[in-house]
Structure 1
Amino acid sequence: MTDTGIDRKRLYFIGNLSIFMIGLGFAVRATIAPDLQADIYIPIDAATSATRLGEALGVTFTGFALTLLFGSALVDRMGMKAMLLLSALGYLAGSLGLFVATLMPPSGTVETIVMISLLLTGLGWGAVEAASNPMIAALYPDEKTHRLNILHAWWPAGIVVGGLAGVGLTQAELAWELNLLLLVLPSLLMAVLVATSAFPVTERVASGASYADMLRELIRRPLFWVFWACMFLTAAAELAPGQWVNIALSNIVGMQGILLLVYVSALMFVMRHFAGPIVSRISSVGLMFVSCLAAAAGLYLLSLANTPALAFAAATVWGIGVCYLWPTMLGIVAERFPTGGALAMGLMGFAGGMSIQFVLPRMGAIFDAAKLEAAGGAEQLAGLSPDAMAEVVRYASVESFQSVAVVPLVLLPVFAIIAIVDKRKSA
């Protein structure tokens, strides 16, 4: 405990718990996606069910992005405690609202309730990132990239727990709606811990920098906006396929896709603890270049996998690729633009969240269009036998994954140029 009443270990645990909670929520959404499609969206409109599902899942990322956009600018005034309490409330309300929606017969009203519930969950997710990232940067100013990677290792840890819980409920033949109650306990625990803890001020406040200084830091540094644009694509390569994996891979491989997501998440949990030594050897930007290369290869291989063994091999490549993308991008910005404070990291998260809001519906639209193409039209699709429908859906799943594989390739020349410029400056 420090003289100011700040217990760094306790706050680090709260940060890890908050990230664990949003990972758990991510796994729950991935687990229940096929059930939402089958029980709600197909009865409403079978031909556009994947598009509707993609839009609903994407709303979570909209809430996440909006909270980061405004919350990161307000966290200096509201304080980290208030922001984290709001996150717990968002997760509780969103989970319970979605649970209620699943108990109602499919209708436009139910679709609206699902949207609102997922939006609330997204607002809670954004509040976590708006508070936890600057909190860790303030607690560990000399090892930001390393500590942020460890913090975000608890994201895949939450996915592992949520994914295995979902598989367990399925194997036990229990109602899939029970997945929605998994978030209640960690949300309540976090609320209690946050309410009884003292929090530091952000780096911007501690340094005495004004809001004007923070804005000038970002406006006058064009490189920040380059990284901001890159965040759109790195997030798309990691989060969109992860949210879609249970639908697509279950159809391609014939196994529960969530198991593959659990495996990748366990891999990421371990690897993120070693970000510091890797960065010390090849630099943060160098790590981003290697990660994007592996992510592109893994996504393409995932679309081609037709057996569980090949799917796990492809997922390993993808997992290694996307492992460091999100936390390393935050670390780069925190180290290069410290005066930008919580706003800089919030804007990065906003870019990532809005990226998924656009990419998930696009994946759904590609999925639906490919189904219609393979079937020969909407009428033919409606009359397919179960075996024929399985082939059509498998083809659509491959198309939706391959559409995302090109995304990280676009970033390779960008990170290569930045790495070269950095090397020349340090020479």
Structure 2
Amino acid sequence: MNPSRLFTASCAALITTAMSFAIRGGATGDWIAQFNLTNEQAGWVNGTAFWGFTLAMMFGGPLVDTLGFKKILGIAFVGHLAGILLTIFAWDFWSLFAGTLLFGIANGSVEAACNPLVATLYPKDQTTKLNHFHVWFPGGIVIGGLLAFVFAKMGLGWQAQFATMLIPLAAYGFMFMGQALPQTQRVQRGESTGSMFAACVAPGFILMVACMLLTAATELGSGQWIPNILSHAGVSGILVLVWINGIMAVGRMFAGPFVHKLSPIGMLVMSAILSTLGLYAMSHSTGNMLFAAATVFAFGVCFFWPTMVGYVAENYPKTGALGMAIIGGAGMLSVSFVLPIIGRWYDAGIAARMPVGEAPTGDALATIQSAAGLQALGQVAVLPVVLTVVFILIAVMKKKPAAAAH
């Protein structure tokens, strides 16, 4: 077994997953025009990637222990290949929907296998290594976003952009091929399946699942709509997304000192506060100030996902691969619902601003779309407000036993 190669292969698989989010976000406007979709329909197409992800996590997570990492990763590879090809050759709403669903199932299979794989490879440094692994989610979005921007400038369509994902797909398939993979930590410890399921109904674990619904919706719900919304606001929406995820990638790479200084729950409190401020500022900004607001938002959502997974791995270890699957699946499920909701807010905001009579076009229409879209992002800010309160309460409750011990 080669832990370094397995970790690198896991990162390549996550890059494939993440590139799809950026390229899909950049292609949304083209899909709306080419297939005559509403913003809400586009939200349903993009949203299916997230509930497809959830399906794979929920079924794949418990099966990692019995089927092993290799079979789940095989499902990921086949799903990615089929999803890429079906999307490239899509002809209507339903073919886009089906291609995105297959991609979502593949993405969920990557997360279901690779989170416990990384935790198994590095049992003494789980939160830090999971942050290092999750560098490549924003890192992959940066790669996909830059490719989408450059390809668009070159006049190459979204189909060509989707084809670029075949490169990291081939890379992770090759790196996993022929490698011996370990058993999960739970299997190595000899813990029963029953104890794993029992641990997943602990009140503290259920609370973290509820929090994951909101952290994922804050990060990915907003992120998936940002390219489309900000493209009407006088900046390149895809470049703003690249900027956000570049900051996130760097932050996660250097997560270790933050984890040791703040503790995971302290990081989550800080993340929720900055996410709130970033979304609020973005909803009241224009032009280059959007980059400043996006910077605050990026520092906010930077540590959300890997710290939530790491917190569960360290505080509820008996939940095993199932616990990680439930956390990740809950997050993606919430995004699948919030994307069309944001799209509906977006449509409603546009309709409310439309003048009576002749429909505006050009700059006048872009101004209306910009205001409506930024207002929709501002509405998402209520989620991290709730998270701030909950995480502070958890932090206070965790300190009480320590104080009592003194």
Match of 2:156 in 1: 174
The alignment partner of 2:36 has SS state of helix
Instruction: Report matched runs for 1:167-316 at 5 Å.
Output: 167-219=149-201, 221-252=202-233, 254-308=234-288, 310-316=289-295
| Counterpart check, 1:79 vs 2:68 | yes
Alpha-carbon separation, structure 1, partners of 2:253 and 2:139 = 12
SS of alignment partner, residue 191 of structure 2: coil
Give yes or no for contact 1:89–1:187 (8 Å, CA) kept in 2.
no
| 1:128-143 alignment, distance < 5 Å | 128-143=110-125
Number of residue pairs aligned between Structure 1 and Structure 2: 403
Counterpart check, 1:324 vs 2:324: no
Q: Secondary structure at the match of 1:305?
A: coil
- Out of 100, 114, 118, the residue aligned to residue 100 of structure 2 is 118
Q: CA deviation at 1:426?
A: 2.5
Extract unaligned runs of 5+ from structure 1: 1-5, 43-48, 105-109
Q: Distance in 2 between matches of 1:296 and 1:41?
A: 34
Indicate if the aligned counterparts of 1:85 and 1:195 stay in contact, CA closer than 8 A: no
Q: Does 1:66 align with 2:55?
A: yes
Q: Does 1:29 align with 2:24?
A: yes
Kindly provide the CA deviation profile for residues 389-425 of structure 1, in whole angstroms up to 9, marking residues without a partner as x.
2222122112211111111010112111111121222
TM-score (norm. length: structure 2):
0.97
Instruction: Tell me the percent identity.
Output: 37
CA distance in 1, matches of 2:220, 2:237: 15
Is 1:354 aligned to residue 333 of structure 2?
yes
- Given the alignment of the two structures, is residue 10 of structure 1 paired with residue 5 of structure 2, yes or no? yes
Q: Which runs of 5+ in 2 are unaligned?
A: none
- State the shift of 1:386 in Å: 2.4
Q: How far did residue 174 of structure 1 move?
A: 2.0
1:416 correspondence with 2:392: yes
Instruction: Tell me the alpha carbon deviations over residues 86-133 of structure 1, each in whole angstroms, 9 at most, x when there is no partner.
Output: 1121111111101101xx4xxxxx111110000000001000000000
Q: Cα distance, 1:158 vs. partner?
A: 0.7
Q: Which amino acid aligns with 1:227?
A: M
Per the normalisation by structure 1, the TM-score is: 0.92
Give 2:323's aligned residue: 344
Report the Cα distance in structure 1 between the residues aligned to 2:81 and 2:355, rounded to whole angstroms.
44
In the TM superposition, structure 1's runs of 4+ consecutive aligned residues that sit over 4 Å from their partners are none
The CA distance in 2 between the partners of 1:149 and 1:131, in whole Å, is 16
Return the offset for 1:274. Answer: 2.0
Q: Residue type of the partner of 1:207?
A: R
Q: Distance in 2 between matches of 1:150 and 1:298?
A: 24
Q: CA deviation at 1:376?
A: 4.7
Q: Which AA in structure 2 matches 1:215?
A: F
3-state SS of 2:286 partner: coil
- The whole-number CA distance in structure 1 between the counterparts of 2:365 and 2:68 is 52
What is the root-mean-square deviation in Å for CA atoms of aligned residues? Answer: 1.3
